[in-house]
């Protein structure tokens, strides 16, 4: 069953002078197993939208249905969706607190009230998935490198085995190698664990390669909802939202402008390569 947002609206600020509508009447339905890229520039309402989807804040109006249940209904127990919807916040390594990596990853499953063996096997599984080896299980999470910390934090969410995994700019502040690792991990989770992924970013390059579907949010409104290739055809519209195309697609547009008849819908380097080779033959 999917996640459905129904006319979601959220307004910030009690002070009359400072009221801003962060999420403005968004309706969208996300199917199981989809990999969604959620894009918008800084301050467009992405993070607020995520928090609404995971029931962490209450909307001004509208609602969210998860597996057909209204999570903002009066008698709905919000605690029960914690095992369903996992959310990895920006800079998730800032939420680490336990003495060892292993106990920190156990925190989530422990809160679900699972038996001890289940908690531990889930933690081990999650740590394996994010590619951390046993040598660091008993280390303090604060002694690790930035990329490792982030993977521990992500493992802490995965260990709850959510059906839906929301990630808010998981690659922020990482070097290119670290970025590739995290994105590869996320797409692996989608394919192998059949998780529904919502990946938030302000960079098209991050999501172009992996997402099945891209949602563009601008000024709190859902501006574009389409598969990646279609989204990148709206070049001018995207630029008016302060977003740019993936580097490769941009390069292909430039080639076409300068008279080389390439397709402009390439979104990965390999696609672009074979496309250019075709033209050159």
> How many CA atoms does the CB half-sphere of 252 hold within 13 Å?
26
Contacts of the segment 249-258: beta carbons below 8 A, 24+ positions apart: 249/204, 249/208
- Asked if residue 142 binds another protein (CB under 8 A), the reply is yes
Within residues 145-164, the interface with another protein by CB under 8 A covers 156-157, 160
Least distance CB 53 / another protein (angstroms): 11
Least distance CB 55 / another protein (angstroms): 9
Name the token pair of 52.
């609404």
> For the chain, what is the radius of gyration of the CA atoms?
20
* Cβ within 8 Å of residue 166, ≥6 positions away: 50, 53, 54, 85, 86, 87, 88, 197, 198, 200
Q: Which stretch binds another protein (CB under 8 A): 15-23, 176-184, 211-219, 228-236?
A: 15-23
Q: Scanning the structure block, which residue is given the tokens 């999501």?
A: 207
Taking the least distance from each CB to another protein, the nearer of 37 and 86 is 86
- Asked if residue 191 binds another protein (CB under 8 A), the reply is no
Q: Which of 89, 102, 164, 241 binds another protein (CB under 8 A)?
A: 89
Q: At what angle do helices 247-257 and 269-280 cross, to 10 degrees?
A: 20
Taking the least distance from each CB to another protein, the nearer of 29 and 95 is 95
Which is it for strands 221-226 and 213-218: parallel, antiparallel or unpaired? antiparallel
- Asked if residue 54 binds another protein (CB under 8 A), the reply is yes
- Asked if residue 103 binds another protein (CB under 8 A), the reply is no
Name the site residues for another protein (rule: CB under 8 A): 14-17, 51, 54, 56-57, 79, 82-83, 85-87, 89, 92, 94-97, 107-108, 110-112, 142, 156-157, 160
């Amino acid at each position: 069953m999917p996640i459905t947002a129904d006319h979601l609206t959220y307004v910030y600020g009690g002070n009359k002078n400072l009221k801003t509508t962060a999420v403005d009447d968004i309706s969208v339905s996300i199917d199981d197993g989809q990999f969604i890229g959620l894009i918008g520039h800084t301050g467009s309402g992405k993070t607020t939208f995520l928090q609404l989807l995971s029931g962490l804040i209450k909307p001004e109006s509208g609602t969210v249905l998860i597996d057909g249940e209204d999570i903002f209904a009066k008698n709905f127990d919000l605690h029960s969706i914690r095992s369903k919807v996992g959310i990895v916040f920006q800079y998730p390594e800032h939420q680490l607190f336990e003495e060892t990596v292993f106990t920190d990853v156990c925190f989530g499953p422990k809160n679900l009230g699972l038996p001890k063996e289940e908690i531990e096997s889930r933690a081990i599984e999650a740590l394996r998935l994010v590619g951390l080896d046993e040598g660091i299980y008993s280390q303090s999470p604060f002694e690790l490198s930035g990329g490792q910390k982030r993977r521990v934090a992500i493992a802490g969410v995965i260990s709850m085995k959510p059906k839906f995994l929301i990630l808010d700019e998981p690659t922020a502040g990482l070097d290119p190698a670290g970025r590739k690792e995290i994105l590869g991990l996320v797409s692996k989770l989608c394919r192998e664990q059949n998780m529904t992924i919502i990946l938030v970013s302000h960079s098209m390059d991050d999501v172009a390669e992996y997402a099945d579907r891209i949602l563009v949010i601008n000024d709190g409104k859902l501006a574009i909802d389409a598969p990646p290739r279609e989204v990148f055809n709206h070049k001018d519209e995207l630029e008016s939202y302060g977003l740019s195309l993936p580097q490769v697609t941009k390069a292909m547009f430039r080639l076409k402008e300068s008279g080389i008849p390439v397709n402009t819908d390439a979104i990965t380097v390999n696609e672009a390569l074979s496309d250019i080779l075709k033209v050159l033959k």
